[in-house]
Every structure is written in structure tokens, then in C-alpha cells.
Amino acid sequence: MEHIRFYNEKDKPDSREKERIAEFLFQHLEQYGDAKDDIKRAVAYALKEIESFGGFVIVYEKEGQIAGTVVVNRTGMKGYIPENILVYIATHRKFRGKGIGKRLMQETVSKAQGSIALHVEEDNPARFLYEKVGFDKKYLEMRYLKRGE
């Protein structure tokens, strides 16, 4: 049995489900992930639980467990910056290679209002999925991180 849940500022998951989503992403993003607190902030941003432009979370369940999840944050911009950024997408290890990532990407494209950007590391095999769905490379991202602020 498969089931897809769509959450946003009007239809929010309860605190237990939010914790389950954060834990899933923390575990299944593996070396491409972030600290659990950062994941929780991205989910809170998507659900407008903190000051934000909102976004959405998609949870794909299979066999009674989370098989994949997406977190998208709205940027509040249009044109020169895409309206959405796909912050996280992960598929459970045991369900990889079964089309769940592709299905999540299709749902994301369908639900998002406007263009979508994402960041992917060069060695991440998921980048081939993103290209198949229609994402292309536009920029090399560079960051300057201020410490201690």
C-alpha cells in the first residue's frame, strides 16, 4: 500500500509526524544531509511555523513507513531567482531504484508554483534523476560563511 501526503501551512503534520520526517531525512540524506536542527528549521519554514514565505513537504509512505520525503521552501522571489528551492529530497535505502525519487520529483514539480532550484553535489548520483526530470545546470554555487555571528 502506497500513500502520498502533502503538507503546507494550511495542512500541517502534528509534532510527532514532523519529528518522524526530520529523523527520516537525517538518516537517509546520508553524507549529503545536514544537522537535524537545520532539517527541522527547513520543515518549519515550509510550514510557515517561523517567519517565512512558506513552501511544502511531501511524504511518500510504503509498507507502513516513510519511503521518501521532499521539503520545498518558497524564496519570495520571481524571475531572476526561482520561486522555490528544493531543500531536501531523500528515499529510504531499501526502496531506492524503484521509481520513488522520480515520483517525488514529479509531485514536487506539479505542486510548486513557479520555477524550482536545487543544490546538488557533483558526486551525488541523484543529480542524474534531476536531469531526467528536466533540471539543468545554470550556476556553480559558491558560499562565504561568516563564523561567529
- pLDDT at residue 52 in the model: 97
Positions of E strands within 47-115:
55-62, 65-74, 84-91
Exposed/middle/buried for residue 44 (C-beta within 10 Å: 0-12, 13-18, 19+): middle
The pLDDT score that the predictor gives to residue 147 is 85
pLDDT of residue 149: 67
pLDDT at 138: 75
Domain boundaries, the chain: 2-133
Alpha helix ranges (H) inside 71-121:
100-111
Residue 31 has what pLDDT? Answer: 87
Cα separations in angstroms, 20 against 26, 59, 69: 10, 10, 11
Residues of the chain with pLDDT under 70: 149
The C-alpha atoms of residue 149 and residue 129 are separated, in whole angstroms, by 37
**pLDDT at residue number 123:** 82
CATH classification of 2-133 is 3.40.630.30, yes or no?
Answer: yes
